[in-house]
């Protein structure tokens, strides 16, 4: 085995390690979202969008608690591993929001785009994790992850409803 192919301790060599690594990734990601959401809520011009971010902040705190229970249910330490994907999305969000006018529907559209990128990442990861936990026989963890997955789907649908019901149209009117 060459040095390039030599495995180190951080390598994922089992399904359990993959599950734990992805849960650690989401633990970091959820905490990053908790730190980002207040700023997003503050920058939202539309009161319903502001409320959606504020409500999702509280829901995200519950997601962290639920993840901790999932870690415990599989007898793994609840530790965070930097989620490069969420870190990248967070940086992109900052740039996107910074490029839009304050107190505008266009900024609200940008906030929705950013938030849906986050939701879609979470949906993908929680969906895979739930399935892997079921395969590994970690039914309690799978049930906990399913509950969070359902809430992420609902948050995404709420953002779509806000966008399609009037925020996107307000942004279009602003441009005229």
Mean pLDDT by 10 residues, the chain (176 residues): 41 86 98 96 96 97 98 97 95 89 94 96 98 96 98 97 93 83
Report H helices in 44-83.
47-73
Q: What are the sequence ranges of the domains in the chain?
A: 15-175
Residue 9's pLDDT is 44
Residue 6's pLDDT is 39
Residue 12's pLDDT is 55
Kindly report the pTM of this predicted structure. Answer: 0.89
For residue 91 the two structure tokens come to 């940086």
For residue 53 the two structure tokens come to 């971010």
Report H helices in 99-138.
105-136
CATH class of 15-175: mainly alpha
Residue 8's pLDDT is 42
In degrees and rounded to multiples of 5, residue 60 shows phi and psi of: -65, -35
Beta-carbon contacts of residue 101 (< 8 Å; ≥ 6 apart)? 107
Residue 129 contacts residue 121 (beta carbons within 8 Å): no
């Amino acid at each position: 085995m060459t040095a390039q192919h030599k495995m180190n301790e951080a390598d994922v060599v089992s399904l359990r390690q993959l599950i734990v690594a992805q849960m650690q990734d989401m633990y970091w990601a959820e905490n990053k979202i908790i730190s980002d959401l207040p700023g997003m809520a503050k920058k939202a011009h539309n009161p319903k969008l502001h409320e959606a971010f504020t409500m999702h902040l509280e829901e995200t705190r519950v997601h962290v608690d639920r993840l901790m229970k999932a870690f415990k249910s599989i007898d793994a330490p609840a530790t965070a591993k930097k989620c490069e994907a969420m870190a990248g999305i967070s940086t992109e969000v900052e740039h996107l929001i910074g490029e839009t006018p304050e107190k505008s529907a266009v900024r609200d559209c940008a906030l929705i785009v950013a938030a849906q990128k986050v939701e879609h990442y979470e949906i993908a990861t929680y969906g895979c994790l739930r399935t892997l936990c079921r395969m590994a026989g970690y039914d309690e963890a799978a049930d906990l992850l399913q509950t969070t997955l359902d809430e992420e789907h609902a948050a995404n649908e709420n953002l779509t409803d806000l966008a399609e019901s009037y925020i996107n149209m307000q942004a279009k009117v602003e441009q005229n």
